[in-house]
């Protein structure tokens, strides 16, 4: 079974040099047929160049973009590349070690057991967030629950970027209709998934805030998140 792991990057040189070997260990230990797809948004720190070097040692397909097109656009580009190379399962994860690669085999197992989307969730029993201050916990919890209430969504962690998808099922989602491009992309994407009534499973993860590099979550992204809620609310999604 062909599996792709999509990792969007922007200035993640310090992280991917350590993350890729860890993912490779998991792949070998579990005898998985995996291609790692790194989608780099023209990182000024040389992440794309480093990814090319790593591709000579590991099963990596590097997608170079020549401008910073944003997180959501990177995820879509990675998913499209995974579909192009005929992957049957697509996993998306962050490059900053907030998502533990050890969870990958469990996510794959859940897909093989019949789920169409598997979420690495911080909001279900057993899930945890480490190294966030009280203000960030408050903002995240409030925004997530407000969004779920307004949009009548069932998924508890709608902004987790650690996900596994059954490729045939995710083809039902009109990715070209998703307008969000920052972290609100995850919210809008999940809204489409629920509207298509795909079979979703949330599994607990321990989310550890990044040690290296700078967070991409800005005040501007938070404002866009709430704008996205209202845009989706009054949009006729089919």
- Which pLDDT tens digit goes with each residue over 98-112? 999 999 999 999 999
Which of 66, 76, 2 minimizes the C-alpha distance to 40?
66
**Confidence category of residue 118, pLDDT binned at 50, 70, 90:** very high
For the stretch 38-76, pLDDT in tens is 999 999 999 999 999 999 999 999 999 988 788 999 999
- Model confidence at 180, pLDDT cuts 50, 70, 90, reads confident
Task: Report whether pLDDT(238) > 60.
Answer: no
131 pLDDT band, cuts 50/70/90, is: confident
216/94 Cα distance (integer angstroms): 11
Termini Cα distance of the chain: 31
Looking at the whole model, is its pTM more than 0.85? yes
28 has pLDDT over 80: yes
Look at residues 91, 98, 120, 104 and name the one whose alpha carbon lies nearest to residue 31: 104
Distance, in Å, from the CA atom of 159 to the CA atom of 92, rounded to the nearest integer, reads: 12
- Report the C-alpha gap between 153 and 161 in whole angstroms: 17
Which domains are delineated in the chain? 2-233 (3.90.550.10)
- Nearest Cα neighbor of 237 from 178, 158, 169 is 178
- Which of 104, 98, 90 lies closest to 23 in space, CA to CA? 104
Per-residue confidence at 217, pLDDT binned at 50, 70, 90?
low
Bridge partners of 128?
206
* Residue-averaged pLDDT of the chain: 91
């Amino acid at each position: 079974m062909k599996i792709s792991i999509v990792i969007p990057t922007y200035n993640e040189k310090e992280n991917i040099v350590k993350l890729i070997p860890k993912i490779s260990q998991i792949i070998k230990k579990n005898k998985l047929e995996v291609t790692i797809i790194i989608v780099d948004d023209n990182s000024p720190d040389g992440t794309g160049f480093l990814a090319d070097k790593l591709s000579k040692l590991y099963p990596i397909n590097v997608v170079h973009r020549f401008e910073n097109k944003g997180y959501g656009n990177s995820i879509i580009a990675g998913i499209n590349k995974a579909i192009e190379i005929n992957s049957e399962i697509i996993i998306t994860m962050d490059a900053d070690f907030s998502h533990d690669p050890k969870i990958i085999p469990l996510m794959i197992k859940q897909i093989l057991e019949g789920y169409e989307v598997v979420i690495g969730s911080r909001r279900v029993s057993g899930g945890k967030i480490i190294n966030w201050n009280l203000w960030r916990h408050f903002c995240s919890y409030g925004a997530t629950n407000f969004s779920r209430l307004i949009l009548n969504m069932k998924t508890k962690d709608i902004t987790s970027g650690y996900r596994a998808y059954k490729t045939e099922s995710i083809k039902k989602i009109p990715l070209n209709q998703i307008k969000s491009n920052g972290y609100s992309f995850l919210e809008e994407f999940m809204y489409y998934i629920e509207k298509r009534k795909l079979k979703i499973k949330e599994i607990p993860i321990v989310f550890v805030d990044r040690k290296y590099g700078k967070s991409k979550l800005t005040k501007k992204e938070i404002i866009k998140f709430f704008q996205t809620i209202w845009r989706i609310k009054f949009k006729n999604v089919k």
